[in-house]
Amino acid sequence: MSRSKPDEAFILAAGLGTRMRPLTDHIPKPMVVVAGEPLVDHITHDLRDVDVKRCVVNTHYKAEVLRDHLAKVLEPEIIISHEPTLLDTGGGLKNALHHFNNDFYIISGDSFWLDNEKGKMLSDLAAQWDAQKMDILIALQAVDRMTLTRGVGDYDLDEQGRAVRSMDKSGAYMFTSVRINSKAIFDNTPPVGEAFSYLALLDRAQEQGRLYGMVYEGDWHHISTPEDLTAVNQSLQNG
């Protein structure tokens, strides 16, 4: 059984942040402040804590703001993959694939979670990752636990822990956009420089029985609007 611990990561940070405006009029969404720090800082701190050595970050909208901010990060090593033209979630990853040696974490730049004694997002994913039977392992949050922000039922789990996409969004779990994947899933995908969605890779892994899910027992919040941000920050301030 192969359970190698990933030491590389990719942060998806090239989005336009449209739904978060006006807060993103002058900054990219990963720079929005939650609990006193930009979202991207929470992510890089957690990556450092699980010994990730290299992190690639794609940029597009307000790229210089994020680039200059991340230049201050000493660990992990930050590599910027700039996209003058947006390549979507799959194309952006394939554009930077040459930076990766093996399996790696992928994290949305607007992800925010709080670990607790029951759940530690990145280390729990690494502990459950099994490259022999998995192409992708996605972290899921139970929809019925999402009280501060709106949950969407993206997936269910079968008895073997495989993730099954709910086409009508009635599933028990929301995809947190945090995952580990094999570099090999990008074989037989559109060429570098072409835009395509990562969702196609999730669906292909599911069809092949190699998409698995991990239920995260900490608190993950779907921060997509200023109202979501206010709700989460107020809750944190109130303890």
Q: What pLDDT shows up at residue 120?
A: 95
**Distance of CA 211 to CAs 89, 102, 129, 152, 218, Å?**
17, 18, 11, 19, 21
Backbone angles phi, psi at 80, to 5 degrees: -90, 130
Residue of 204, 189, 194 lying closest to 92 (CA atoms): 194
Q: What's the CATH superfamily of 8-237?
A: Spore Coat Polysaccharide Biosynthesis Protein SpsA; Chain A (3.90.550.10)
For 58-75, write each residue's pLDDT tens digit.
999 999 999 999 999 989
Classify 35 in phi/psi space as left (phi over 0), alpha (psi -120 to 50) or beta.
Answer: left
pTM above 0.75, yes or no: yes
Structure tokens at 238: 């109130």
Given pLDDT bands bounded at 50, 70 and 90, which one contains residue 148? confident
For 163-212, write each residue's pLDDT tens digit.
999 999 999 999 999 999 999 999 999 999 999 999 999 999 999 999 99
* Span 207-220, average pLDDT: 96
Q: What is the dihedral of CA 27, 148, 11, 47, to 10 degrees?
A: 120
For 77-97, write each residue's pLDDT tens digit.
999 999 999 999 999 999 999
Q: Residue 9 CB: number of other CB atoms within 10 A?
A: 25
For 41-55, write each residue's pLDDT tens digit.
999 999 999 999 999
Q: What pLDDT shows up at residue 4?
A: 73
104-125 burial, b at 16+ Cβ within 10 Å, e below that, comes to: bbbbbbbbbbebeeebbbbebb
Pairing of strands 54-59, 8-12: parallel
